[in-house]
Structure 1
Amino acid sequence: MAISTVSTTRTPSRFRLLLGEGGTFTRRNPTLVAGGVIISFLALLAIFAPLVTRYDPIALDVVNRLKAPSSEHLFGTDMMGRDLFSRVIYGSRVSLMVGLSVAAIATAIGLVIGLAAGLVRWVDVVVMRVMDGLMAIPSVLLAIAFMALAGSSIRNIIIAITIPEIPRVARLVRGIVMSVREQPFVEAAIAAGTKDIPLLRRHILPSTINPLIVQATYISASAIISEAYLSFLGAGTPPEIPSWGNIVAEGRALFTIAPGAVLFPSIFLALTVLAVNMLGDGLRDRLDPQMQRSLR
């Protein structure tokens, strides 16, 4: 008579799967995961801001001015009765859009300039001297001067912050290209008669992708901070567009009475920049072959 056996193997829970085989990536890349989760959460708040808060961020309500945080107004109200929670959430749209746009544009333009300078000698001599000249000018002064000439708008802020970041990307890419160009496999490809475009696409460009991804995250964090202090100085977003910088600028005079107008946007700004930097550090560790070998 056959005796049936009952399996005692338990089905692993989702939590155990995350920490087990499924959680290998999380355990090996905690900063990358933490930064990505925070940024995703802030991005969702920005995208679904009309669903998160029912208040208009620019609607005035002088009857309820300078209210303390409550269930009605989570962060309180400012000197004009505007809901601070609504203004901070909508302000995240400006910061995230500026950070993403500056990182994308500066990386794309810097990549083209760096590749050209690394491959063509006369371009290196002429263009990189222009890049050196731009880097010699303090980025904040260059941005303020551009905003004074072009006027306050989000588009002009993106342009003003992008210009000082392009030389940094160009110099990074140029250095990588000049290093890779001396590698034996590239010299072998040149000796085999490989044309410039296929050589660039197959052998040189892939070597720049990983450093560029990491550099883009740091550019994004720097752009978010730059937008905040430009708005704080009155040279950034117009007053009718809520951003973390101009919210702090408007609330600094009443800090002793309503500290939330300064503290809450500052906390969101610090959290965003920290998350982007954590994401950049995690990507650097993840994309570094030596670091990956040490983790195995």
Structure 2
Amino acid sequence: MAVVTDDLAVPSARRFSLWRAIRRNPTIALGAVLLSVLIVLAVFAPFIATSDPFKIAPVNRLRPPSERWWFGTDQFGRDVFSRTIYGARVSLIVGLSVAAFSSILGLALGLACGYFRKVDALVMRVMDGLMAIPSILLAIALITLSRPGLGIVIVAIVIPEVPRIVRVVRAVVLSIRAQPYIESAIAGGTKNWKLLTRHILPNTLAPLIVQSTYVCASAMLIEAGLSFLGAGVPPEVPSWGNIIAQGRTFFQIAPWTIMIPGAFLAVTVLAVNLLGDGLRDRLDPRLARRL
């Protein structure tokens, strides 16, 4: 009987531990749940969509939300629900890709700038120059040099987002490099690569993760803005920015063509920001003690 009791106690303890973790970090839990739902919708969009998002049916144009058309139809008779679900793919791909590439480049440059003073003098001036240019204008300028597409949109957003990561990582490296144990290791002849990988790099991961979430949210908004202006992905590709741009002319008679994709964009950005806020509170030792 003791064995059965112990076996039953283990799942109960795990449920209690999970519930306690959720209570202590509600923003992380809420953000993770919302983001997970949106990712599932995007991945399984072909199975969830009620119709072809590209199918034009003028006879069904500007139909209000109903049992047949859950989110209504647009000016071409296309199903807004299906287009909104497929549009999640573009925003999530752009947001996650920009966050990943910006983090990798920003981490490498930030480590180099914070540790090597000569590299810092050159690279940070370039970063300052990039930060002086509004990110959306720089993205538009880069996109005009080539054909619109998802890849060029990601590259155009990554370039202005990298300086944010570089400045955060550089600040952390400078503060750690001034610690006595780092100076002792340098005086003892420890190689630079070993100092960077064993002592400095692990301390940069927490602020890097938090900053990456904000870059992800910012990238989604920039992509939507570029698509709304016609400088993002091609108009035929369903994205939340394109859907809003195409429906703005009919907003007074068909507000669902703008409100629904706009609500999905807002919820996605909110989920990422909630996740970032929760990770900041959890990974910051000073704030974690209060939880």
| Equivalences for residues 208-223 of structure 1 within 5 A | 208-223=204-219
Please give the alpha-carbon distance, in whole angstroms, between the structure 1 residues aligned to 2:63 and 2:137: 37
User: 1:117 is matched with which residue?
Assistant: 113
| Offset, 1:289 | 0.9
User: 2:169 is matched with which residue?
Assistant: 173
Q: Deviations 1:144-188 (Å, cap 9, x if unpaired)?
A: 111111221000110111110111111111111111001011112
Q: Deviations 1:226-254 (Å, cap 9, x if unpaired)?
A: 00011001111101100000100000100
Matched, 1:229 2:225: yes
Letter matched to residue 176 of structure 2: V
Matched, 1:66 2:31: no
Please give the alpha-carbon distance, in whole angstroms, between the structure 1 residues aligned to 2:270 and 2:258: 18
| Offset, 1:290 | 1.1
TM-score (norm 1): 0.93
Match of 1:150, SS state, is: coil
Matched, 1:186 2:155: no
| Equivalences for residues 135-154 of structure 1 within 5 A | 135-154=131-150
TM-score (norm 2): 0.94
User: 1:6 is matched with which residue?
Assistant: none
| Equivalences for residues 1-296 of structure 1 within 5 A | 20-295=16-291
| Offset, 1:20 | 3.5
Aligned length: 286
Please give the alpha-carbon distance, in whole angstroms, between the structure 1 residues aligned to 2:282 and 2:26: 11
Please say if residues 87 and 239 of structure 2, whose CA atoms lie closer than 8 Å, have aligned partners that are also in contact: yes
Match of 2:290, SS state, is: helix
Provide closer, same or farther for how the CA distance between residues 18 and 85 of structure 1 changes in structure 2, counting only shifts above 3 A: farther
Please give the alpha-carbon distance, in whole angstroms, between the structure 2 residues aligned to 1:52 and 1:139: 35
Percent of paired sites with the same residue: 58
**Deviates most, 170-179 or 184-193:** 184-193
Please say if residues 45 and 52 of structure 1, whose CA atoms lie closer than 8 Å, have aligned partners that are also in contact: yes
Please give the alpha-carbon distance, in whole angstroms, between the structure 2 residues aligned to 1:207 and 1:249: 43
Letter matched to residue 44 of structure 1: V
Please give the alpha-carbon distance, in whole angstroms, between the structure 1 residues aligned to 2:14 and 2:64: 41
Question: Gaps spanning 5+ residues in structure 2: where?
Answer: none
| Offset, 1:16 | 8.2
Provide closer, same or farther for how the CA distance between residues 39 and 121 of structure 1 changes in structure 2, counting only shifts above 3 A: same
Letter matched to residue 55 of structure 1: S
Please give the alpha-carbon distance, in whole angstroms, between the structure 1 residues aligned to 2:109 and 2:162: 9
Please give the alpha-carbon distance, in whole angstroms, between the structure 2 residues aligned to 1:52 and 1:16: 35
Q: Which entry has the higher C-alpha Rg, 1 or 2?
A: 1
Please give the alpha-carbon distance, in whole angstroms, between the structure 2 residues aligned to 1:191 and 1:41: 52
Please give the alpha-carbon distance, in whole angstroms, between the structure 2 residues aligned to 1:18 and 1:271: 30
TM-align CA RMSD? 1.9
Moved over 6 A (4+): 15-19
| Offset, 1:21 | 3.4
Letter matched to residue 71 of structure 1: E
| Offset, 1:192 | 2.1
